[in-house]
Amino acid sequence: MFDLTATDYQAVALSVRVALTATLLSLPGGFLAGALLSFGRFRGRALLEGLLNLPLVLPPVVVGYLLLLLLGSNGLLGGLLAKTGLRIVFTWWAAVAASLVVGFPLLVRAVRIGLEEIDPRLLQAARTLGASRRDTLISIVLPLSGRALLAGAGLMFARSLGEFGATIVLAGNIPGLTQTIPLAIFDYINTPGGEGRAMTLCLLSVALSLAALLGNEALLGKWAKRSRS
């Protein structure tokens, strides 16, 4: 194994930056989607659930290509952004978009499970006492779903650190700009004599993901103790 280069450190920093940005941006939408699936009773609910979970079963390259069609200069959303001078494809924001779409179902699933564990009698009692939906959301739903939201965020962050297929299609593999840890590993694997640095980055990727999951478990444990006290 060899020492990492400056470009490798940039890939590590970008991976963390992309994963953190994608996770933070997805929290509001993830909570709303989880609440809609948990409490909503409407036609098309099963279809919505299927669409939200679709990135989990589709090949990541397919997800990346569909995002490229949407966000490319000739795409529906990409064309609108181009008129304002904004471009997403082949920038680090493209890596964020890819990670957000691929990891979003994990966040929604965790939030939905947490919301479904809330005792319906608590919600009924709040409504009986005259609490509005907004008050019920702030005083009951959000506090009781906090652990699920935190757990989902941890899973999404760890998943975003390892995102490869959709990222390479939508963001490309540009060292120092869009190259994340998985893309750097891919480059070294296909470079003669690059096995050592590839293994170093693999071990670093494992360490980062494990640290994220363990840190998330520690936060969940503190949340549980605070809730019981």
Answer yes or no: are the C-beta atoms of 187 and 173 closer than 8 Å. Answer: yes
Domains and CATH numbers, the chain: 6-228 (1.10.3720.10)
Has residue 100 got a pLDDT over 90? yes
In this predicted model, which residue has the larger pLDDT, 98 or 215? 98
Average of per-residue pLDDT across 51-73: 93
Answer yes or no: are the C-beta atoms of 150 and 223 closer than 8 Å. Answer: yes
Write out pLDDT tens, residues 115-166.
888 877 887 887 787 777 777 777 788 888 888 898 899 999 999 999 999 9
Q: How confident is the model at residue 84 (pLDDT cuts 50, 70, 90)?
A: confident
Average of per-residue pLDDT across 62-68: 95
Has residue 2 got a pLDDT over 60? no
Helices (DSSP H) in the chain: which residue ranges?
6-39, 45-57, 60-71, 76-83, 92-116, 120-128, 133-136, 142-161, 165-170, 181-189, 195-228
Mean pLDDT of the chain: 89
The pLDDT value recorded for residue 229 is 59
Q: Which amino acid is at 20?
A: L
In this predicted model, which residue has the larger pLDDT, 141 or 176? 176
Full DSSP string of 64-112? HHHHHHHHSTTSHHHHHHHHTT---TTSHHHHHHHHHHHHHHHHHHHHH
